[in-house]
Structure 1
């Protein structure tokens, strides 16, 4: 029964992919979208079943399908693990995935390649499920690479635009850099444990098996490099904002529920290894904090509504890695969940706005939309409150827990994270005010066509707004259901945060910081009615931020152009060398041939002379040999 359910969980999205890729063009658009949506909804229902079963029994489910490979004392089974962590991830991957599919039926209705779009979405969900439920690192790597492939296909979905193709290639290549680190880490762990199975490695650590901590530290560092690529941390983060080239539902799927959470999932899954390498944990915490701050700075001045949300995602991911680096894995998971709710709502809300404005994404050409799009405005406002850390919304609880851990473990990192959180409140309310308040700044034609989006678009927004409101109560300080639920994932007891004077003080500081950010945004964009300057008028440090600290330009100058130069030199050198060798052989052949032609001159006397000389030489050789 469990095996059948697991195969249903995995293969339902894959069946949706096969149907749409082969038969989607032959059926109506509604059928294509409906089949794709039902496929993911089936996986969500199966995930719910597994969740209730594991929540009741408290026992993980291990399903072995077959032995994959055997190399002396190293075995890899094609097996799947369903436990508290994987089932929790499945719920928001398939649940939010279903909402995004529903949204896409309306949002992508007029696209000529609708069937292909749903095929890619289904394949994306299939590989993400594979990543989450794999019982060893090799099966996880299949899903890891699969979501990378699907992100390439979806980011460059509108392939007739070369900029979108470039963004897709950038995402693919930067992820390959991280994936190399992931693979090296897998090989080292296989060497250390003679296994890459999660349960086997965890049992070995729990039983006190000695392990070379130097090699283990190098392995976890390599795995973190892989996580940095997939979850967009410094220095491998620049692909994620460019991923906005894909359709808005793709942005929501990548940023909220699937691909970017893979790195957090992997590190949480291997928490027992990272706990043994505190130096690597500190690197993770520092990189996470710096990433959060840098991305927040960049988001302050962006004018593309999706770019603001993209850098917001990078910043929030940085907070999650800060929690991971401080050993607070369950808190990182908590923020992953709440972030999935409000970020999906924000991205889909931005898509609703873009849909109403006929593709316009520049906030300088928006404004006043709350009068025309009330459902979109209310849901977007709720999600903005959540990400800004305002009580009682979901983001307040999860972000507050991260700041609390940082305060107790490292005051400098707490200060960095707090500053990033204040800036989050500022740039998110800047986005809200510029988009929905004051007067409309677009064209008269756009204003004439302004309207609320269809129900297939607003329904997911309402559901996600509700989750963004109440989702934080799954881990209420001092009475956390989530912490207790995840306890079997970790080795040893977990520290429970209680409501005391310090906790209330930190909550108060976080809320005051958020209110300061909101107040600054209100002062600039409501009271003073400021509108961001045109690109050509941006100067000073704002220009540096607007151009994203020129990181892409630095990468181009320091890495890309030198590689192109080396490749060009190598190409020319190799071509010259090969041409010289090939043409040289030809010339030698011609010279030898010309000399041979001189012998064939038709003179019988010359032929007899050569015959006599050759015969005499042969006889002399035989005589001397005796």
Structure 2
């Protein structure tokens, strides 16, 4: 069964190619069958391969499959090959199954849209690229998948390309992530130049043998890879593209945020964790960036009015938690939260899609209201997803993953009170902003008429994801950490130091109290509408801060001022292209030389004879008087 590993990314790719070659000539049902069926077969095959992997005693707890040599130039011979270990196995299963549920949902959600076949072609290509990324056995092949998800994000965010705003959002995502991609490719060149390979496992071994901890090369390589991760995973300071990416269809948002693209940076850091352990300053930067990002994004989510933008900032914040875990050496905790986040974030986006489609594509939560009776499926789905996001204790999967990160942020020798405090405050804000959206959208008087109810093709994914968002955390219990133990074959266990202040259970109580208090605060502010809290909000700096948070802390304006406007100014000055002036000069010089030579072609034979005689005399003189 393991020999069929190559088919996992190939099946979605084949579906995409088939849909592209059909050029829109297939019936919608057949297009959906190819798109959903190929991803579904890939998910089933991933499950079969996983069972075989778990039952087969493999040397090094990993399986490598090399199909052929991609490039052979001297010592540079990267292959088209796949590497399956506990880390890539978890990533593959989550990507394949969550993508399948989103595809199934899309068959009904996108049924009335033009470009139906094109949509599934792009979605399948997206899934194939992400599967290549997590299964690649070398960094060059990984980079192919990395660029593939970047291309597909551009195509899908700008799916409704007739709207100029959507095209702008797609270009913005492509350009901002390209900044990180540039840093990453430079990092790959540095690694190959100094270590002589891009095969991931030999590369990590050579780095550990040849580079001392804290060496300049290790720091430079890790920093460049971090740059790539920041772009794809929308972390500070390259987070600005993700909220605008909501211009794409809701299933696209779910796919980008839950199972693909934004988690690519998390995977890259976990896969190359040896480099980051050799670069302590960069490793610390990962934790600090994660802590800052989760707070800034949570504050922005608090004041958004578009339900999808609330969830977009939520994704940025939750990826920040994963970076925080990576930065304190809790590698398994970061991947655990990735898996749980895929469940509840896909659920939240798909539930939001039901609301939007039912309200004539209304996105503003303040124009919703009273939907709990009209859309019960969306009501319960959003509640379960929101509760898991807020880490409601014991009954949700998010409780187990987020609390594990908070505990390691406190107990790890790389963590400390400040990082833990940032994570705890982020947990409080998370509960407030997600239940703010829930209370406003589903309670109070109806403001927009519901004209469409979801069918069973939408209901099935919502029910499946709801179940996973509730029980998914049971694979990692304090007494039986199955998930962490499984990943220890690939990722080192997190170190812990004696804090002298409580134990893990005590910190779970604190974080649980923060989540519950956040929900209660949201209830007082947005459902009960407490007069005292309303008065407090008016007398605090909130009215001044709100526009700043709403605009994403002004990063777009900052980049517009520092980068976009100066670039446009330079292009205005250089509208005639200075480089072209050089070539125009060569053209003019050639024309002038041609004009001078034309005098020698006057049609008079005596001048030709005189010229020949003069040339002969000069040659003879040069021979006689060298």
CA displacement 1:3-47 (0-9 Å, x = unmatched): 3x1232122111211222223633321221122111001111111
Q: Hey, what does 1:479 align to over in structure 2?
A: 480
**Within the alignment, does 1:505 sit opposite 2:506 as a pair?**
yes
- Asked whether 1:319 is paired with 2:321, we answer yes
CA 1:493–1:263 in structure 2 vs 1: closer, same or farther (change >3 Å)?
A: closer
Residue 218 (structure 2) pairs with residue 216 (structure 1)? yes
More divergent stretch after superposition (416-425 vs 316-325) = 416-425
* Gap change, CA 1:468 and 1:623, over 3 Å in 2: closer
Q: Take 1:199 and 1:470, find their aligned partners in 2: how far apart are those partners? A: 34
How far does residue 273 in structure 1 lie from its aligned partner after superposition?
Answer: 2.2
Aligned equivalents of 1:156 and 1:262: distance in 2? 21
Instruction: Map 1:445-524; keep pairs closer than 5 Å.
Output: 447=449, 449-491=450-492, 501-524=502-525
Distance 1:453 1:68, change over 3 A: same
Q: Does 1:345 align with 2:347?
A: yes
- 1:391 partner SS: coil
1:62 to 61, 64, 89: 64
Kindly indicate whether the alpha-carbon contact (under 8 Å) linking 1:387 and 1:425 is maintained by their aligned counterparts in 2.
Answer: yes
Alpha-carbon contact 1:345-1:379 (below 8 Å) kept = yes
Match of 2:177 in 1: 175
**What corresponds to 2:361 in structure 1?**
359
1:111 Cα deviation after fit:
1.1
Query: Does residue 336 in structure 1 map to residue 342 in structure 2?
Result: no
**Could you say if the C-alpha distance between residues 368 and 579 of structure 1 is closer, same or farther in structure 2, counting changes exceeding 3 Å?**
same
C-alpha contact 1:478 1:496 (8 A) present in aligned 2: no
Residues 497 and 348 (structure 1 numbering): CA distance in 2 closer, same or farther, change over 3 Å? farther
Q: How is 1:232-311 mapped onto 2 (pairs within 5 angstroms)?
A: 232-311=234-313
Counterpart CA distance in 2 for 1:497 and 1:37 is 50
What is the alpha-carbon distance in structure 2 between the residues aligned to residue 612 and residue 74 of structure 1? 63
**SS at structure 2 position matched to 1:120:** helix
Structure 2 unmatched runs, 5+:
none
Deviation for aligned residue 1:495:
5.9
> SS of the counterpart of 2:6?
helix
Deviations 1:136-171 (A, max 9, x none): 111111111111111111011111011101111111
Contact 1:372 1:450 in 2 (8 A): no
Aligned to 1:383: 385
Q: How far does the alpha carbon of each residue in 1:447-496 deviate from its partner, in whole angstroms, 9 at most, with x for none?
A: 1x444311111211111011000111111123210011011103578669
Cα offset, 1:590, TM superposition: 5.0
Task: Name the CA distance, whole Å, in 2 between partners of 1:621 and 1:95.
Answer: 84
Q: In the TM superposition, what is the alpha-carbon distance from 1:73 to its structure 2 partner?
A: 3.8
Q: Which residue of 2 aligns with 1:559?
A: 563
Structure 2 CA distance for partners of 1:360 and 1:196, relative to 1, 3 Å: same
2:447 partner SS: coil
Preserved CA contact (<8 Å) 1:94 1:125? yes
Instruction: Compute the RMSD of aligned alpha carbons.
Output: 2.8
Aligned to 1:109: 111
Partner of 2:21: 22
Residue 583 (structure 1) shift: 4.4
Q: Corresponding residue for 1:187?
A: 189
State the secondary structure of the residue aligned to 2:255: helix
- For 1:497 and 1:56, the matched residues in 2 are separated by 37
Check conservation: 2:211, 2:278, Cα contact below 8 A: no
Q: How many Å separate the matches in 1 of 2:184 and 2:613?
A: 72
Whether the aligned pair in 1 keeps the contact of 2:221 and 2:275 (CA below 8 Å) is no
Q: CA deviation at 1:201?
A: 2.8
The verdict on how the C-alpha distance between 1:610 and 1:44 changes in structure 2, with shifts beyond 3 A counting, is closer
Distance 2:95 2:70 in 1: 27
Do the aligned partners of 1:390 and 1:396 also contact (CA within 8 Å) in 2? yes
Q: How does 1:40-55 map to 2 (within 5 A)?
A: 40-55=39-54
CA distance in structure 2 between the partners assigned to 1:615 and 1:73 by the alignment: 61
Tell me if the contact between 2:226 and 2:269 (Cα under 8 Å) persists in the aligned partners: yes
Map 1:581-592 to 2 at 5 A.
582-583=587-588, 585-586=590-591, 589-590=594-595
Deviations 1:162-188 (A, max 9, x none): 110111111111111111111122122
Query: Larger deviation: 462-471 or 540-549?
Result: 540-549
CA distance in 2, matches of 1:190, 1:622: 60
Give the conservation status (yes or no) of the 8 Å contact 2:79–2:141. no
Question: How has the CA–CA distance of structure 1 residues 70 and 528 changed in structure 2, closer, same or farther, with 3 Å as cutoff?
Answer: same
The 3 A distance-change label for structure 1 pair 505 and 591 is same
Q: Classify 1:205/1:557 alpha carbon distance in 2 versus 1 (closer, same or farther; 3 Å).
A: closer
* Residue number in structure 1 paired with 2:2: 2
Moved more, 560-569 or 424-433: 560-569
What SS class does the counterpart of residue 181 from structure 2 fall into?
helix
> Higher Cα Rg: structure 1 or 2?
1
Cα deviation for residue 71 of structure 1 reads 3.9
Structure 1 stretches lacking a partner, 5+ long:
none
| Cα distance change, pair 489–27 in 1 and its aligned pair in 2 (3 A) | same
Q: Say if 2:358 and 2:451, in contact at 8 Å, map to a contact too.
A: yes
1:612 to 1:66, Cα distance in 2 relative to 1, 3 A = closer
Give the alignment's TM-score, normalised by structure 2: 0.91
Describe the superposition over 1:56-103 as per-residue Cα deviations: whole angstroms up to 9, x where unpaired. 235321111122334444442321111111111111101000000100
CA distance in 2, matches of 1:585, 1:285: 61
CA contact (8 A) 1:487 1:494 kept: no
Which residue number corresponds to residue 412 of structure 1? 418
CA contact (8 A) 2:329 2:494 kept: no
| In 2, Cα distance between equivalents of 1:221 and 1:214 | 10
Shift of 1:574: 3.7
Cα distance, 1:527–1:491 mapped onto 2, change above 3 Å? closer
Instruction: Establish whether residue 400 from structure 1 lines up as the match of residue 409 from structure 2.
Output: no
Deviation at 1:502, TM superposition (A): 2.1
1:358-384 alpha-carbon deviations (Å, 9 max, x no partner): 111111111111110001100110110
Q: Secondary structure at the match of 1:69?
A: coil
- Contact kept, 8 Å, 1:376 with 1:452, in 2: the verdict is no
Q: Cα offset for 1:612?
A: 7.4
* Post-superposition CA distance 1:331-353 (Å, at most 9, x none): 00010011000000000000000
